[in-house]
Amino acid sequence: MTSFLITGAKGILTGRKGDAARAQGDVRVVNGMITEIGALTPLSGEKIVDAKGCVVTPGLVNTHHHLFQSVLKAVPAGLNESLAKWLRLVPYTYWDKLDEEALRVSATIGMAELALSGATTIADHHYIFSKSYDFDPAEVLFDTADKFGVRFALCRGGATKGRNFDEDNTIPLPTETLDEMIDSVTATAKRFHDPSADSMRRVVVAPTTPTFSLEPEELRDLARASRALGLRLHSHLSESTDYDDYTMSKYGMRPIHWISQYEWLGPDVWFAHLVTCDESEVRVLYETGAGMAHCPQANARLGSGIAPADMLSKLGGNVSLAVDGAAANEAADMISALYTAISVHRASKGVGALKPETALEWATAGGAKILGLDTVGTIEVGKSADIVLYDLSAPRYLGQLDPLVGPIISAGDANVRHSFVKGREIVRDGKLPWLDMEQLAADAARVTARIARIASA
């Protein structure tokens, strides 16, 4: 079903800015594209999608995740630690205990959580590619995304050097030479990358961190190799003061100013977090068109701070929303991220810091722009039909005089009645039709028990 009429909704949040952020009426989809919006009459034989009691929004775009962490939630040793120690105690301690089944189950958990919150596009930063593996993580992740029917961007991570922590009793993350990294990315892109504007599959070059994972000159070489392949660039940056301390002590420059020397800025680049950016760095991001994947929940959960996403947005810069890995954010869904973004910015900067419509724009049009997906992110004629219908019948939404903002400001479980990607149904009546949730729960319990048993041994 890729042609239908959505009718009866309370209203539409379009993902656009200003007065265009809201609309009323029906939405006609023909062959996976939005063709009309307004007061529409059903055509003879046209499939009707009942949106009574719903708000219609664009599909949400998650621009930074670590799907392998969905079976590493609430690891006791790292639950009350800040970023650097958490990294050592959780992903750096557990990465070698995840086999192919664990990755597949973990990715399924993460994508289910995202899809049931309204996400239709997922960018996953996977940075563990070990020579000891007898499977290809990229294949597992793309295969899982295909089952869900979501758009998927693999941000292919990795490192040419290890990172030092406060203790050395961890198994280092896998490393590779720069040539090996480039060759692997090239092969992965040839197999999976679709550069078209309406693509379902993308590959992105995404070393784990520019500061700790590569030598400076390798950054420039990698950027040039990436652009020669027509691929975007992504990484973590300025997630905590550790990044500032490192580049200031070693190079006498803050992270954004330092990385600007190595061709790692521009509209084809986006960074996750950017929590500690100062005003001068935010202005450089704006001037160069580099984007931010704002991860408000994970940054709050780890005590890292609040990224200046509002400052970059008010300048006209590129801001998107992301959930980050579930091991640092045990509610890795986009509705929780939307609510948290509004809450933390208002708590720290006042009630005018962030409006619900702006947060939604970050999570839709902003994310689509950063990923270079020109046909998605908004509800407007000529766009691909990546659409979500949020049912507002739950008690938390009752009594609202402005029901359109309900899914954003009321938090809690999202009630997605339907969602579509290119007009193909992903969620139906709050469920993923193809996925056996009881089996997934059993698989998750078995995998996490095995991981805990191996870790304790």
pLDDT exceeding 70 applies to what percent of the chain? 99
Name the CA dihedral angle for 54, 59, 61, 65, rounded to a multiple of 10 degrees: 70
| pLDDT band at residue 427 using 50, 70 and 90 as cut-offs | very high
**Phi, psi (5° rounding) for residue 228?**
-65, -30
**Phi, psi (5° rounding) for residue 20?**
-80, 0
Q: Assess if residue 118 is contained within a domain.
A: yes
**Residue 265 structural domain:** 60-371
User: 417 with 341, same domain?
Assistant: no
Q: Assess if residue 456 is contained within a domain.
A: no
Measuring CA to CA, which residue among 422, 431, 298 is closest to residue 31? 422
**Phi, psi (5° rounding) for residue 323?**
-100, -20
Q: What is the pLDDT of residues 352-376, one digit of tens each?
A: 999 999 999 999 999 999 999 999 9
Q: Assess if residue 209 is contained within a domain.
A: yes
User: 197 with 274, same domain?
Assistant: yes
Distance, CA of 273 to CA of 96 (rounded, Å): 25
pLDDT > 70? residue 345: yes
**What CA–CA distances, in Å, run from 28 to 7, 36, 49, 423, 424?**
9, 5, 10, 10, 14
Q: Assess if residue 355 is contained within a domain.
A: yes
CB 138 within 8 A of CB 188: yes
pLDDT number for residue 364: 98
pLDDT > 70? residue 161: yes
User: 64 with 44, same domain?
Assistant: no
* N-term to C-term CA, the chain: 51
User: 276 with 401, same domain?
Assistant: no
Distance, CA of 338 to CA of 174 (rounded, Å): 34
What is the model's pTM?
A: 0.97
| 118-146 average pLDDT score | 97
Distance, CA of 1 to CA of 5 (rounded, Å): 11
pLDDT > 90? residue 13: yes
pLDDT > 90? residue 178: yes
Distance, CA of 183 to CA of 199 (rounded, Å): 23
pLDDT number for residue 168: 67
CATH number at residue 32: 2.30.40.10
**Token reading at 240:** 């905590």
* Torsion-angle region of 217 (φ positive above 0: left; ψ -120 to 50: alpha; else: beta): alpha
User: 30 with 64, same domain?
Assistant: no
User: 263 with 389, same domain?
Assistant: no
CATH number at residue 229: 3.20.20.140
User: 149 with 181, same domain?
Assistant: yes
Question: Which residues fall within 8 angstroms of residue 427, CB to CB, at 6 or more apart?
Answer: 115, 116, 388, 416, 417, 418, 419
| 223-252 average pLDDT score | 97
pLDDT number for residue 166: 65
